[in-house]
A and B are shown apart, each in its own frame.
Chain A
Amino acid sequence: MRVSLASRVRGSAVYRSIVRHGTTATNRNRSLVVFENLFLHVHPVKVREKTLRFTHTFWLGGITLACAFILFVGGIPLMFYYHPSVPQAYRDMKELQYVVDNGVFLRNLHRWAAHAMVLVAVLHMLRVFYHRAYRPPRQFNWVIGVLLLLATLLLSYTGYLLPWDQLSLWGVSVGTSMVKEAPFIGERIRFYLLGGNVVSENALLRFYVLHCVVLPVALLLLVSVHVWRVRKDGGVQGPAGAERKNEP
């Protein structure tokens, strides 16, 4: 009787040292799959079947997370070809377009994913609101959610300047001049944000650091808390009215 390569690999000591659970479909193994795995163990071993229904959450949180993941993974290679300096920053966009293999694809992906993430995050928030999923014990997670939304906006906004084309420059000028209007501190904030009084190379560098280091880290932390809280607070909550349906 033939022994397949796959099964021989599964038999090997190395494989076993990495994956502790067997392949046979026992519930034990399936549980192990989840809690033996750093990334999966945010999940409980069992979930309510109804939470898997599309209409339960419309998977909006998941989609947002997917976008975030794509942005993280796609952003890193882009950084390899980007100099936060004038005019090189703009030229780098052209390099991506004309020279770097798949550069333009990656840039487009990053751009559209960013827009998508903002949009979906908002929808996610609305979904949670209309399902009244902010109610105890989930109050704090809602707050984190709001913070996440802000972080997302800031990320998208800081990234907006990096191509250093007319769109970026004036988009950011308009935005930051709104900040300026804040009483007392507005001027100051803008000054710190731009590293000067006008959108210049300083601003580019600062936005770059914010976009590539500060905000992503913040987002990462908040997301982990957010997701972890979801489980701690008793899993995803679907339509509040759901219960109403099964009245006698």
Chain B
Amino acid sequence: MPDEESRDGETESISRRDVVVRLGVGACALAAAGSAAVTLDFLEPKVLFEPQTTFVAGAPLDFADGTVRFNREQKAYVIGTAGGVYALSAVCTHLGCITRFRSEQRMIACPCHGSQFDLEGNVVHGPAPRSLPWLEVSENASGSLVVETRVIVPQGKLFRV
């Protein structure tokens, strides 16, 4: 207890009682710290029940120049060009509405606040601050296209087919 401490708090005169007390206080502190750590670990989910972030878009051949396919579940466009295939997030960069592809004007429009994007994802006009991000496209073992919606790639990075 403090009352057993040396009158002068600055100097460390190590009496046996003092050690005992410090031992106890230390143990408590340790326990507290440990509990905190364990709680954090506890709060970290160890399994996830989330929809797949990747989806199979189809065979490369399905994406001739100009094809635009919308995957509703994954909120992404898969677009075929002469050079290759790329995927575009369909989530508007303004307030996160789901954009729609207007086939007649061949552009992407947001129903909420009228933002408009071209097929590269660049903002044509509207409140949207940034262009739509490009998503990673790769090929799986069976040779069909796989889009990973979590990975954003620099604009213009086509998947050559």
Direct A–B touching in the complex (beta carbon < 8 Å)?
A: yes
Stretch at the interface among B7-15, B80-88, B106-114: B7-15
Contact of B41 among A10, A99, A102 (CB under 8 A): A102
How many whole Å from A113's CB to the nearest CB in chain B? 15
**Interchain CB contact under 8 A, A23 and B10:** no
A80 at the interface (CB under 8 A from B): yes
Contact with A along B1-33 (1 / 0, CB 8 A): 111110101111000000000000000000000
Q: Which residues of B contact A (CB under 8 A)?
A: 1-5, 7, 9-12, 38-39, 41-44, 46-47
| 12 sampled A-B residue pairs with Cβ under 8 A | A1-B10, A10-B9, A24-B5, A25-B5, A29-B2, A30-B2, A80-B43, A99-B46, A100-B42, A101-B38, A101-B44, A101-B46
Contacts of A99 in B (CB 8 A): 46-47
Contacts of B39 in A (CB 8 A): 77
Q: Contacts A23-B2, A24-B2 known; A7 to B42 CB distance under 8 Å?
A: no
Bound complex: CA A99 to CA B46 (Å): 6
**For window 1-26 of chain A, which residues contact chain B by CB distance below 8 Å?**
1-4, 7, 10, 22-25
**Interchain CB contact under 8 A, B46 and A100:** yes
**For window 94-124 of chain A, which residues contact chain B by CB distance below 8 Å?**
95, 99-103, 106
Bound complex: CA A21 to CA B38 (Å): 33
By the criterion of a CB under 8 Å from any partner CB, how many residues of chain A are at the interface? 21
Bound complex: CA A245 to CA B128 (Å): 86
Q: A4-B10, A25-B4, A77-B39 are in contact. List 18 more A-B contacts (CB 8 A).
A: A1-B10, A1-B11, A2-B11, A7-B9, A7-B10, A23-B2, A23-B9, A24-B2, A24-B7, A29-B2, A30-B2, A30-B3, A77-B42, A77-B43, A101-B42, A101-B46, A102-B38, A103-B42
Contacts of A4 in B (CB 8 A): 10, 12
Contacts of B42 in A (CB 8 A): 77, 100-103, 106
Bound complex: CA A145 to CA B41 (Å): 38
Bound complex: CA A103 to CA B45 (Å): 11
Bound complex: CA A24 to CA B46 (Å): 48
Bound complex: CA A23 to CA B2 (Å): 6
How many whole Å from A110's CB to the nearest CB in chain B? 13
How many whole Å from B112's CB to the nearest CB in chain A? 31
Bound complex: CA A99 to CA B44 (Å): 11
Bound complex: CA A170 to CA B39 (Å): 33
How many whole Å from A153's CB to the nearest CB in chain B? 29
Bound complex: CA A103 to CA B5 (Å): 41
**Interchain CB contact under 8 A, B47 and A25:** no
Contact of A24 among B9, B12, B38, B41 (CB under 8 A): B9
> Top 3 A-B pairs ranked by shortest CB distance?
A25-B3, A99-B46, A25-B2
Contacts of B7 in A (CB 8 A): 24
Contacts of A106 in B (CB 8 A): 42
How many whole Å from B132's CB to the nearest CB in chain A? 34
Residue of A nearest to B41 (CB): A101
Contacts of B11 in A (CB 8 A): 1-2
Contacts of A22 in B (CB 8 A): 9
